[in-house]
Each structure stands twice: as C-alpha cells, then as structure tokens.
Amino acid sequence: MGSYIYDFLNDSLILDTSLISRDYQGISEKRLVQELSRYRTFSIMQIPFVSYDIRDNQGKLSSTGSEFFANDLMLKRAALYMDQIVLPDPIFPFTMPPHEQSEVFSQMLGFKQDGSIDRVKLAFYANQIISLRPLVAGNYVKFYPHSYHSEPAIQIPGGYSEVGFADLLPESISKFFNQRANVSSLEKIPNGYMLCDDLFPCRGIGLSFEGDCRENVEIYNLFEQEIISMDDNTRTMLTKMVLPDTPPKVREFDNWVSQSINKSAYEYFKNTVNNVSLATSLNSSYSSTTQLESELLRKHFFSGDKSIQANTFDSVMKMELPFLQGVSSHDLMSIRQNDGEEFANFRRELESSLKELRYEKDPLIIKRKVEDIEHEIFESQVQKINTKLKNIKKVSFADLGIAAVGLSASIATSGASLLGTLAALAHGAKTYGDYREKVTENPAFFAWKLKNSAKPTSSLNADKVMPKSRTISGITVTHGDYVVTPKE
C-alpha cells in the first residue's frame, strides 16, 4: 500500500471491519492495549524509513497537514495541485502509555476516568484509515506519527517566575495572544466542570484563544501548597497539593489568570514551532487548519510575499469545486497517475492564472478573482473541450467511412492491399493528431476528465464525522518564506 501504517494494521484486529462496526466489543481491554503497544513499537522503528520516503519526493510538492486535513473534500481539493499530503497517524496517539500524574490530578478534580481506551474514537479513526486506502495506494497520502514528538514528559515540570512567565515570549507575540485570550470561570458539576459565561474569582478557569478550534480549552486549577517537610542537607521539600473550597483574593486571582494566559501562549507557540520544524525536516510545507495559527505565522514568522506554489495552493483550497464530491478517490488517483502530463499542464495553468493574486491584500478581491478563475478553468474551458470533442467525433466518423470504403474495395479486388490499409491508418492518425492537439493539450483537460468521472452527489454517502465534531475554519500553508491565508 506504500505506507507503514497498513504494513502492520492490515493483519491487525485494529482494522478488522467486523470489530470496528461494533466498536471492538468482545475484545478485552488487555488484548486491545497489547495490540496498540505492539503497533507503537513497530511505528517508532519505522520512523527513519517513513521520513526518508516522505523526503525523497524528487522536487514534488509536499505538505504536512493536521488531523483535520483528513477530510474527504479537502484532500481531493488539495490533490488538484499537491503531489503529496502527509497526515498524522490517527492510531498512534492511542498507543501512548498512561500518564500517571495526569490521571491522579484528573481523579482529584472529579473527572471520572478509568484509563480505558476510547473505543468509539478508535473505531472512527480505523474507518478513516480504511477509507483513505485509495489515496495512499495512489502515493498521494502518507502517514507519519506526529504525536510521538509532542508526548508529555513522564514527570510534570514545576516552575516559578517573578513576572508571571511574561518573559517566555517576545513582547509582540505575548501581546498577540493576550489580545485573543478568552477566559471563563469554571463551575463544578458531578463529572467535572462547566464553563461559565463570565469571569470571577474562583479556583478553576477555562482558557482558549480566539481563532483556535472551539473545543481547545485549557483547564487551570489554582491549588495551594502545604509544606510537609524540608531537608536543607538534601535540598528537598515534600509538599501537599490542596484545592480549597474558598476563592482566592482578587489580586491573587488576577495574577494567576495572567500567568495562565502566558503559559498557554508559550505552549501554543512552541507547538506551532514544532509543527513547522517537523514539516521542514520532511521537505514539506506545513498546512494548518486554524485561523489563530495562520495569523501567528503570517504576522510573526513569514511576512514576505507568498511564493507562487504557496499562493496557488491557497487559492485552490479557496475554490468551491462541488463536483469533487462526486469523484471517487480511486478515480481521482487513476486520473492523476494515468494522465501525468496532463496533470502537469493543468498545474502550470493554475500557477499562471493565479500568480498575480500574490500581491493582492483585499480578501474580497481575492475571493472574486479566485471564483472567476475557477469558472474559467472548470466551466468555460471544460465546455470548450466538449465542443471540440463533438467536432472531432464528426470528423472521425467521416474519415472512418472513407477508410472503410477504401479498405473494402481493395479487399474485393486484390485482397487487403497495402494502399487501402495505409489509407485507413492515415485517416486514423489524422484524427488522433487532432485529438491530441485540440483536447489533451488543453490545460483544462485534467479538469475535464475529473468532471466526467463525477457521479451524482445524491448517491454518495456523506462523510462520517467524529462524535462531538470539530469546527474547521480553513487552511494555512507555510514553508520557509511564506504563509498562506486560510479559507474564509
């Protein structure tokens, strides 16, 4: 299949469709954990080979995407331009060993967690892997265990700052996050906490940033430490964490909120840097799916003009292209592979048509121009190809009649004469030449083939979504000196 993920999972109970359909019921927790542990060991051992395979793309356009990129229509749209999309391995995060300290804090805060695997979520991602097989077989989608590089440390680090961690980031970046911070107080409920509509002194807050995914809310609790013992000789101190029922003083609460924003901003920034660094190490651009990350990268990392490739990819991702919903992944990959020259012509046409948008700043003007170019390529040019094909068919039938008469006459008089055969071949060659010149060399021929392969969308199944589905605001692509704005 061209991907390590199938080398193991094809023979694993994780991709057993009968087990997936019933969320792995009938499989013991011990057996499931064991299988995931085996997969973890296998995946880590494969990282050097996977990295080499992704990097060895011989100048092809490659991009690493987040888990949100594993959306059917988004992947198909990207396939109109990109050679390769690298997605996070969605199974690998399930292989992470239990984090003992996190579980202790969760239980202490009232979250009822038994440490068991979320089988519904695992089954969803297993189905997703199965559905992506045609795109992987087409050497377009690659998997990489992204989460391996961002797993939390075994020990939760402590820290102290006299300035409330305000010096973790440059002032401009700290200001960027502070302007977008949303903080609400938490109200205790039987199985955890609920976000309140306002902020008031309390022991728990929920913190998020405007432009990030809606469900990305960091939970902070204000504990107090009670010193149990101290040893000056060993320079050690034993303390006890206590969560009082009474709220803190206003000044203490305000300082804690400010400190929490600074720490969350730093973690978000660090994670973004790690994502871009990983993409760079894989000779790929980085595709983000949040407005927040897009603005962060555009304002504080890559402030120059977009490259032609970045601009083209960004513009293609802004196109609607409703017919793609009716194009199967198998047909899309077949057309890309069997019509490689036409695909290359189509991509050059996109770059040529869209390159002037690199210098346009007004999003409304960009939107209108993208719509115009989409209509020109996928409607006007496709219709011109249809018209030419009709004309060629008429000429072909006329030539075929003449050739058939010439051939049949020669057969009647002197057998299959060389003259009659050459006449037939000559007419056939002429028609094929017209076909190549008038149809396949048209830059929109690739688009024409895709549209003709589309099935009525009413007959297709809608994409499955995860329980508690996530909101995707758009796409950002960054690489070296450029950043692409997400779809509005």
- Measure the CA–CA gap between 455 and 325, rounded to whole angstroms: 8
Query: Which residues touch 164 (CB under 8 Å, ≥6 apart)?
Result: 255, 258, 259, 262
214: buried, middle or exposed (CB in 10 Å: 19+, 13-18, 0-12)?
Answer: exposed
- Measure the CA–CA gap between 410 and 412, rounded to whole angstroms: 5
Query: Which residues touch 59 (CB under 8 Å, ≥6 apart)?
Result: none
Higher pLDDT among residues 274 and 460, named by residue: 274
pTM for this model (two decimals): 0.80
Alpha carbon dihedral 52, 58, 61, 62, in 10-degree steps, equals 0
Q: Evaluate if residue 132 carries a pLDDT over 80.
A: yes
Return the structure tokens found at 101: 């300290």
Return the structure tokens found at 453: 């392969």
Q: Evaluate if residue 324 carries a pLDDT over 60.
A: yes
- Measure the CA–CA gap between 404 and 413, rounded to whole angstroms: 14
Query: Which residues touch 381 (CB under 8 Å, ≥6 apart)?
Result: 442, 443, 444, 447, 448
- Residue 65 contacts residue 117 (beta carbons within 8 Å): no
- Residue 181 contacts residue 281 (beta carbons within 8 Å): no
Q: Evaluate if residue 223 carries a pLDDT over 90.
A: no
Q: What is the mean pLDDT of residues 431-437?
A: 58
Name the average pLDDT for the chain.
Answer: 81
Q: Evaluate if residue 246 carries a pLDDT over 70.
A: yes
Query: Which residues touch 256 (CB under 8 Å, ≥6 apart)?
Result: 220, 222, 248
Q: What is the mean pLDDT of residues 296-325?
A: 85
